[in-house]
Amino acid sequence: MTLGFANYLITNVLPQVFTEKQTENMLKFGIFLIDDMVDYLGYEMLQSHWESFSTVLLRYTSESSCILRQAACYGLGILAQSTPSSVMNVDTVNLWLQALYSSVKIPKGSEKEKTYGHCRDNGVAAIGKIIKQHSTVFDSRPAIGFWIHFLPLRHDKEEGMVQNELLVDIMREHPDLILGTNKLEGLQKVLSIYGDITGNKKLYNDTIGIKIKEHVGILKGDPFFNENVNVLWQSMSQKQRDNLTEFVK
């Protein structure tokens, strides 16, 4: 996509798409146009349109239609990922996060489980992208606490891989962001997620697998882990314990 073509779409196509009583298919088309322009051209080329893109995407994160919510949440994640932290501020981050929290918490309706699952996964993944890209701009601990509750993602495997690697990276580099003041509860949650990930080859690749093994190795050298290993192990399901034990041996 070229800048000239993008400007044509912004000027001549999008205003015709985002109108009252527009069809779902046309709205989806318009949202994905924004997603693609953000993804392919980025902030530097389209910064004058960034705020209007954000406004549209935020509007549709609360749509009753899973199809539109998914497209909007995915787009907001790409927007966050493409926005330099130097131009971000706490208010914008919180605005985006609150929209995504609300979107993720919308209960399943009449749509199929797979459709709903992909929609929610994209909302969770967008939160992860904000955490990864803009952690220097805001206190990411509340966002991480919300985000980790939905891991591992089970419907959008591609997004799930990215989020699983981010989880391991945070635990290896900044564990306090996840463990906080309740280290035991935090480790219970992370180890349970590791057990789910390692039991399904669609949830990890070689890089993630190596990082999990390395992190478990580091934990085995941690006095706190060793003092509480029985409690930690019992907090996991039998399947999670078996998966992780077999994986790291």
- pLDDT-above-70 percentage for the chain: 100
Q: Which residue would you say has higher pLDDT here, 1 or 141? A: 141
* Distance (Å, whole) CA 187 – CA 165: 16
Counting runs of H as helices and runs of E as strands, what totals does the chain give?
15, 0
3-state secondary structure of 33: helix
Residue 198 resides in a domain = no
* Distance (Å, whole) CA 215 – CA 168: 8
Asked if 101 contacts 60 with a C-beta cutoff of 8 angstroms, the reply is no
Residue 25 resides in a domain = yes
Residue 16 has what pLDDT? 92
Residue 128 resides in a domain = no
Asked if 140 contacts 176 with a C-beta cutoff of 8 angstroms, the reply is no
pLDDT band of residue 249 (cuts 50, 70, 90) is confident
Q: What is the pLDDT of residues 109-128, one digit of tens each?
A: 999 999 999 999 999 999 99
Average pLDDT of the chain to the nearest whole number: 94
Residue 96 resides in a domain = yes
Look at residue 181 and tell me whether its pLDDT is greater than 90.
no
Q: What is the pLDDT of residues 14-44, one digit of tens each?
A: 999 999 889 999 999 999 999 999 999 999 9
How many domains is the chain built from? 1
Q: Which domain holds residue 55?
A: 1-106
User: Which pTM was predicted?
Assistant: 0.94
